[in-house]
């Protein structure tokens, strides 16, 4: 599948990306891909090993005469975000990603995430390792696991294992930009067992659905004003409180680091309130569409009867407390940075919310350029949800990457960018969780930058990559590695 990828330029890079598309690799399911890459390395006579967590390192000795050049680490993560449109069945543990080349000069997937994040960075590193015409010092390619789900690979990376002093993170998504800092973050998990009571004869079951949102990356896209399906469906639930609605179940979002595009709830509603409630939902749909005009145009909000009748729903008090807590929970941009203009400092994504048989679960992702601010926002969740008797814990916390504008590696990259492209790159700090912050904590001697091709719609089925930017990214990467070897 995806044979058309090998007709694109640069061919070695796209050949490796085809392998990545054809090999299922959602977070936690990278083992098959690791085995393929180890076999590929054996075929080229390249040394490879894994640390205790399973992160893969492939090494290539320096070009003869360049053994004393500083060691360069090419770094990316093997996993991808698994998101598909609701009407498109796709098993990310079994099915390959089907790609298409658009007339717009971009590569797309069919109804799923593409995996350009971070597949193109991985493919570029593999293409460099097999390039026999490249002049280079000692090379290490570090491929981490479970970045999208938990930063697990970086958090558990072996210390004292890597040898290089310069690290090129290939996980950025903007053409003409180079990143020197990123936000840290943490997962906030909220759980509770809430009381239920039987439906009475006068109650009927209805389905409240919110679909059609764009979604996107919960860091990079958090400031763009797009709808969050969990936030908006809870708003609808709040509007239905006066009609006596009780929650039966809830399902919204699938990943804590993707803006939720869809959310669904089953309600128990007094039969004599149904018509009025449906009128209120229709009016609210118009209100939400007006608020999201020009940003997120596809919202659909419906309230429809169900053929099946559930046995129980949350008690009226429990339902109201849960809806109200979710209604006031932090969501979206909390604060913009004063130090780095135009960059989000602190944010939160209400990523995954569920309710089943009274068991409530929420997973939010808080991010900040200041680790203390992320911790404070997580504590606000704890304080809020303790009011309804829920348990809160913080998991997978990872530090931010403190910018170093005086980095010699950065200066070298900027010079090459000017020479090859005729302009200076934008030096940026990103409101997303690059692994650099974690890697820098384990290897403080590293000088690091992050750059990549132009990717849009990451973490959603709208993910796409501009083909011309991939060729530009490849040329810059190859030139940088040679320049670093020559000193």
Catalytic residue (one of 79, 187, 463, 466):
79
What confidence tier does 302 reach under pLDDT thresholds 50, 70, 90? very high
Residue 85 has pLDDT above 90, yes or no: no
Using the predicted structure, report yes or no on whether residue 292 has a pLDDT greater than 80: yes
Mean pLDDT to the nearest integer, 198-223: 95
pLDDT digits (tens, 9 = 90+) for 422-441: 999 999 999 988 999 999 99
pLDDT at position 487, please?
A: 84
Q: Greater confidence, 341 or 98?
A: 98
- pLDDT bucket at 280, cuts 50 / 70 / 90: very high
**Average pLDDT, integer, range 335-343:** 88
Instruction: Please tell me the predicted confidence (pLDDT) of residue 376.
Output: 96
* Catalytic status, residue 187: no
Residue 86 has pLDDT above 80, yes or no: no
What per-residue confidence (pLDDT) applies to 87?
Answer: 83
Q: Is 147 a catalytic residue?
A: yes
pTM of the model: 0.82
Q: Give the tens place of pLDDT for each residue, 113-163.
A: 999 999 999 999 999 999 999 999 999 999 999 999 999 999 999 999 999
pLDDT of residue 482: 98
- The one catalytic residue among 117, 140, 146, 147: 147
Lowest mean pLDDT among 233-237, 242-246, 254-258, 309-313: 254-258
Can you give the chain as a three-state secondary structure string?
CCHHHHHCCCHHHHHHHHHHHHCCCECCCCHHHHHHHHHHHHHHCCEEEECCCCCEEEEECCCCCCCCCCCEEEEEECCECCCECCCCCCCCCCCCCCEEECCCCEEEECCECCCHHHHHHHHHHHHHHCCCCCCCCCEEEEEECCHHHHCHHHHCCCCCCCCCCEEEECCCCCCCEEEEEECEEEEEEEEEECCEEECCCCEEEEEEEEECCCCEECCCCCCCCCCCHHHHHHHHHHHHHHHCCEEEEEEECCCCCEECCCEEEEEEEEHHHHHHHHHHHHHHHHHHHHHCCCCCCCCEEEEEECCCCCCEEECHHHHHHHHHHHHHCCCEEEEECCCCCCCEEEEEEEEEEEEECCEEEEEEEEEECCHHHHHHHHHHHHHHHHCCCCEEEEEEEECCECCCCCCHHHHHHHHHHHHHHCCCCEEEEECCCCCHHHHHHHCCCCEEEECCCCEECCCCCCCEEEHHHHHHHHHHHHHHHHHHHHC
64-84 pLDDT per residue, tens: 999 999 999 999 999 999 999
């Amino acid at each position: 599948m995806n044979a058309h990828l090998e007709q694109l330029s640069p061919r070695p890079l796209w050949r490796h990306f085809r392998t990545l598309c054809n090999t299922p690799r959602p977070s936690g399911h990278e083992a098959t891909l690791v085995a393929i890459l180890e076999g590929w390395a054996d075929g080229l006579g390249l040394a490879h090993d894994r640390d205790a967590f399973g992160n893969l390192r492939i090494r290539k000795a320096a070009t003869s005469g360049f053994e004393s050049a500083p060691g360069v680490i090419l770094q990316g993560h093997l996993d991808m975000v698994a998101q598909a449109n609701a009407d498109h069945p796709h098993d990310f543990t079994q099915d390959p990603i089907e790609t298409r080349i658009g007339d717009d000069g971009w590569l797309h997937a069919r109804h799923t995430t593409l995996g350009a994040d971070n597949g193109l960075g991985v493919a570029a590193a593999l293409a460099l390792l097999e390039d026999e015409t490249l002049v280079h010092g000692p090379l290490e390619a570090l491929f981490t696991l479970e970045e999208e789900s938990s930063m697990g690979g970086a958090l558990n990376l072996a210390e004292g294992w890597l040898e290089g002093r310069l690290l090129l993170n290939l996980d950025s998504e903007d053409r003409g930009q180079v990143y020197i800092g990123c936000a840290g973050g943490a997962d906030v998990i909220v759980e509770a067992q809430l009381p239920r009571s039987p439906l009475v004869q006068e109650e009927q079951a209805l389905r409240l659905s919110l679909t059609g949102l764009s979604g996107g990356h919960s860091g990079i896209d958090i400031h763009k004003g797009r709808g969050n399906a969990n936030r908006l469906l809870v708003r609808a639930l709040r509007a239905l409180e006066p009609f006596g609605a009780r929650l039966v179940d809830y399902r919204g979002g699938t990943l804590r680091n993707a803006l939720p595009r869809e959310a669904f709830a089953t309600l128990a509603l007094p039969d004599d309130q149904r018509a009025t409630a449906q009128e209120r939902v229709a009016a609210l749909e118009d209100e939400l569409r007006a608020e999201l005009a020009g940003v997120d145009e596809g919202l659909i909000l419906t309230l429809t009867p169900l053929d099946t009748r559930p046995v129980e729903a949350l008690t009226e008090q429990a339902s109201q407390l849960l809806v109200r807590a979710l209604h006031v929970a932090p969501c979206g941009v909390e604060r913009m940075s004063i130090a780095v203009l135009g960059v989000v400092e602190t944010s939160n994504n209400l990523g995954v919310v569920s309710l089943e048989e009274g068991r409530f679960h929420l997973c939010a992702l808080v991010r900040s350029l200041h680790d203390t601010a992320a911790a404070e926002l997580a504590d606000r969740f704890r304080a809020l949800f303790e009011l309804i008797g829920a348990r809160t814990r913080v998991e997978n916390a990872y530090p931010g990457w403190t910018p170093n504008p005086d980095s010699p590696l950065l200066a070298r990259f900027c010079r090459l960018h000017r020479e090859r492209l005729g302009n200076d790159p934008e030096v940026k700090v990103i409101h997303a969780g690059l692994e650099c912050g974690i890697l820098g904590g384990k290897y403080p001697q590293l000088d690091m930058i992050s750059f990549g091709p132009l990717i849009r719609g990451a973490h959603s089925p709208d993910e796409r990559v501009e083909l011309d930017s991939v060729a530009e990214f490849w040329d810059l990467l190859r030139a940088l590695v040679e320049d670093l070897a020559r000193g």
